[in-house]
């Protein structure tokens, strides 16, 4: 819907996604660029089930995720980079923001994050990877906000090494240190859209 709206407003739109979405996107008359093949070929359903079961243990979940995602990040960055040639702006999904952040830097263009689910940290609930404090617990709201900050920064730091490889090999950018990444993320506040 967003792509059609932008196209109707006169913008040239290309949707970059896994090959599974090509037919859907093209059926609406929008340009499509495939990223790293099809989800069904890349993701093992048993791994997803294990990930969800282990989500309460962040270390197990993180290790499992990196075993699956780490090897495809270079290819993902190459595919995203090819899709973004000539772009004046990027609108990236929740997962797309990990490549979009670096590509927008390289192209020196604005970027917008579009989530299809709640993503902003809220004081009423903790991040899904952290234990829930009982209602009425002292500093519960502060704890909840802290869990979101830790999970967000933790995920970026978890992906820092493979993304740094892609920054260097695909985009020709200098790698970011842990502190450099933390600092950039703190100062980076792209506009956010919510599609629900």
**Residue ranges of the alpha helices (H) in 70-187?**
73-83, 97-107, 140-166, 178-187
Average pLDDT on 174-187 reads: 93
pLDDT band at 123 (very low <50, low <70, confident <90, very high): confident
Q: How many CB atoms lie within 10 A of CB 181?
A: 19
pLDDT at 118: 81
Cβ-contact 141, 52 below 8 angstroms: no
pLDDT at 140: 93
Q: Which residue has the higher pLDDT, 68 or 129?
A: 129
Q: For strands 90-92 and 31-34, give the pairing.
A: unpaired
133, pLDDT greater than 60: yes
Closest CA relative to residue 151, chosen from 112, 183, 119: 119
- How many CA atoms does the CB half-sphere of 41 hold within 13 Å? 8
pTM of the model: 0.83
Q: Look up residue 43 and give its DSSP letter.
A: -
Q: Which residue has the higher pLDDT, 51 or 146?
A: 146
48, pLDDT greater than 80: no
Report CA-CA distances (Å) from 42 to 37, 76, 105, 185, 187.
Answer: 7, 12, 28, 29, 34
Cβ-contact 122, 115 below 8 angstroms: no
End-to-end alpha carbon distance in the chain = 12
pLDDT at 55: 56
């Amino acid at each position: 819907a967003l792509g059609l709206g932008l196209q109707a407003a006169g913008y040239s739109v290309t949707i970059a996604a896994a090959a599974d979405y090509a037919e859907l996107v093209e059926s609406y008359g929008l340009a499509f660029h495939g990223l790293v093949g099809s989800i069904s070929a890349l993701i093992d359903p048993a791994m997803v089930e294990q990930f969800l079961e282990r989500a309460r243990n962040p270390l197990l979940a993180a290790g499992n995720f990196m075993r699956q995602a780490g090897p495809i990040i270079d290819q993902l960055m190459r595919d995203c980079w090819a899709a973004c040639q000539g772009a004046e702006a990027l609108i990236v999904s929740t997962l797309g923001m990990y490549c979009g952040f670096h590509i927008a830097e390289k192209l020196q263009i604005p970027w917008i994050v579009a989530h299809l689910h709640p993503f902003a940290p809220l004081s009423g609930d903790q991040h899904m990877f952290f234990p829930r404090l009982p209602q009425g617990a002292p500093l519960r709201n502060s704890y909840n906000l802290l869990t979101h900050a830790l999970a967000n920064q933790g995920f970026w730091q978890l992906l820092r090494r493979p993304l740094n490889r892609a920054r260097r090999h695909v985009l020709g950018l200098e790698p970011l240190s842990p502190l450099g990444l933390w600092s950039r993320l703190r100062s980076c506040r792209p506009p956010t859209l919510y599609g629900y």
